[in-house]
């Protein structure tokens, strides 16, 4: 099977479920902390390919939920600059499979890794549904 680099937020229950699903499908998963990765705009952009700019964001991020970051009017350069300075804004997971990259499990190569099945139960924040908060990790939320 495949070796996948999986960028997650430590303590995120949804990312934990996603990692387990990939491992259950027989893949080796190398987990990286998305918040500690030294991101560069060009590198981040490679995960989003032809996705609309608004879909590059973690919609559960406090700055998105509060309206501070307006997903309807942001351009690509501004979005990338914000994400480089605040990785909590980045849509998770970021997946790298031998240089083929994506953000989220609802597009390739993630769909192939999970057998081309829509994985609705693996998308979305569990904590939003229950109105609880993710555990704090260091100084970033």
Active site residues: 12
**Angle separating helix axes 41-48 and 76-85, nearest 10 degrees:** 120
Q: What is the C-alpha to C-alpha distance for residues 93 and 79, in angstroms, rounded to an integer?
A: 17
Q: What is the DSSP letter of 28?
A: E
Cα-based distances in Å from 121 to 23, 68, 85, 97, 112? 16, 28, 30, 22, 17
Tokens 């994400």 appear where? Answer: 83
């Amino acid at each position: 099977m495949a070796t996948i680099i999986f960028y997650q937020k430590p303590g995120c229950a949804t990312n934990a479920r996603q990692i387990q699903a990939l491992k259950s499908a027989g893949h080796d998963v190398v987990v990286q902390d998305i918040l500690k990765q030294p991101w560069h705009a060009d590198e981040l952009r490679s995960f989003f390919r032809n996705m609309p700019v608004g879909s590059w964001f973690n919609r559960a991020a406090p700055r998105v939920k509060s309206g501070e970051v307006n997903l309807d009017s942001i351009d690509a350069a501004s979005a990338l600059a914000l994400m480089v300075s605040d990785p909590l804004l980045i849509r998770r997971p970021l997946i790298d499979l031998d240089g083929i990259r994506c953000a989220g499990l609802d597009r390739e190569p993630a769909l192939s890794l999970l057998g081309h099945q829509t994985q609705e139960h693996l998308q979305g924040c569990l904590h939003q549904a229950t109105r609880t908060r993710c555990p704090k990790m260091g100084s970033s939320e």
